[in-house]
Amino acid sequence: MFDSLTDRLSEAFRNLRGQARLDEKNIQDGLREVRMALLEADVNFKVVKDFVDRVKEKALGADVLKSLTPGQQVVKIVHDELVELLGGANTGLDLKRKPVTIMMVGLQGSGKTTTASKLANLLRSKHKMKPYLVPADVYRPAAIDQLHVLAKQLGVPAYPSTTDMNPVDICADALKKAAEAGCDAILLDTAGRLHVDEPLMQELSAIKERCTPGEILFVADAMTGQDAVTVAEAFDKRLGITGVVLTKMDGDARGGAALSIKSVTGKPLKFVGMGEKLSDLEPFHPDRAAQRILGMGDVMTLIEKAQDTMEAAEAEKLAAKMQQAKFDLEDFLTQMRRMRKIGSLESILKLIPGMGGMMKKLGDMQVPEKEIDKAEAIINSMTKKERREPSIISASRRERIAKGCGKPVAEVNALLKNFEQMNKMMQQMLGGGGKTPQMPKMPKIPGMPAGYTPPGTKPQPKLSPAMMQNTMAQGMPGMGSIPGMPEMPAAPAEGKKQLSKKTLAERKKKKLNKKQRKKR
């Protein structure tokens, strides 16, 4: 979402960090790049002007100019101002008054029906509430059927509305039906409409008056950019919305709507849609979004996603299996599938600080998603016994597994070998054993010359076995001998080979034979 903005801002801050001391001209040049980056991201021009002015005022302060790291100080100021621009803090739903009634409004095609289902899933799974879905869109073909299908997938009740019913009557009667069903969260999915369509806007006002919803959420498509902000402002003046939900944030949207909506409408951005699955709705955290924009990663979101896919007790059980060397291919397959639930490897790496920039440096090299698919296919071709006891997989079994998954036997062998090495490493790291695990060899990067060392680093000297042995025997400087360690014999001189007793005896015998021949 914010990739292009992140690239532009990173370039601007790189120039600022390179300055030994900052003055007004340096700051002016850096903020010019920031201004252009925000405008290209489709941020409202008034918002950009106010933002840059505030940053400039703080950046020209005496404390910043006299700082030892003025470039970092400016980055911190931009980060703090971005957090304020995005809303300051996460603003969730008001769930105090029961039942919670949430009214979804917005333009047609913005994703209200899907968002209503995602929100129902969120309330059910995280807040342990019982949602009730109300299809009040009688104008769009199959809109009612769509919400009923989604409600069935979630296993939640839905109001049995039909296209010949009045939307206001549907919403009013649904409140009674929800109370009878014991539901404490009612989601009203209204029809999409333009803010200039007076009859339909009057219909929304009537629903608000009859149902008095605690939350009125404006659902906007992030791909529409500044238009989403303009329409949200119009809906707010008419209905008094309590928050905004931006959908399709996983696409190539420039992010201008997310950065402008709080400043223009005064209403917080509460949720963002990050995919098509019913679980792909995330609460919006301004501080985390600011970190992503500035390329700092988002570790908290990564931790929360990992916690959602695995319970603490299950994690402890898995760690115990690793310590006892009982981690098998079935466990490995389960962990791969759990990682898929968190997201793609690329999306996970973007949440780790510093990894986003590193991925760009790799250029055309892609994250090996296909390798994970291969490994999953090979493991799926095994029997349960083979997964739990990989040691029994003989040559004939490997051929059968290779035929079953359509892969060469060499790939099956490579997977089993890598798994065995990984298992040993995990056992040593978690179970101890007093040994330091040997790091696996780095894969050769295509197009990388042999013996390549990154710029700014010196190649490590190659130690011969003799040099290593002498170093171990002499010990490190300032460090005594290790108790219980036997003394090591002196290493042979560099360049000379240490010969075996048999070879020495044979040479001695040859010399004696030569002497005897000369005497004769």
What's the pLDDT at 68? 52
Band the pLDDT of 27: cuts 50, 70, 90: confident
pTM over 0.85: no
What's the pLDDT at 479? 38
Secondary structure of 32-93 in the HEC alphabet?
A: HHHHHHHHHCCCCHHHHHHHHHHHHHHHCCHHHHCCCCHHHHHHHHHHHHHHHHCCCCCCCC
> Which has more confidence, 132 or 452?
132
Least confident range of 159-168, 358-367, 402-411: 358-367
What's the pLDDT at 369? 63
Distance of CA 84 to the CA centre of its chain: 23
What's the pLDDT at 225? 72
- Whether the pLDDT of residue 353 is over 50: the answer is yes
| Domains of the chain in sequence order | 3-85 (1.20.120.140), 100-296 (3.40.50.300), 303-430 (1.10.260.30)
- Whether the pLDDT of residue 113 is over 80: the answer is yes
Q: How buried is 293 (Cβ within 10 angstroms: 0-12 exposed, 13-18 middle, 19+ buried)?
A: buried
> Which has more confidence, 19 or 241?
241
Mean pLDDT over the full length of the chain: 75
pLDDT, tens digit, 9 for 90 and up, residues 133-153: 999 999 888 889 999 999 999
> Which has more confidence, 229 or 487?
229
pLDDT, tens digit, 9 for 90 and up, residues 36-83: 888 888 888 888 888 888 888 887 775 655 655 666 777 788 888 888
CA atoms of 498 and 491, how far apart (whole Å)? 9
- Whether the pLDDT of residue 407 is over 70: the answer is yes
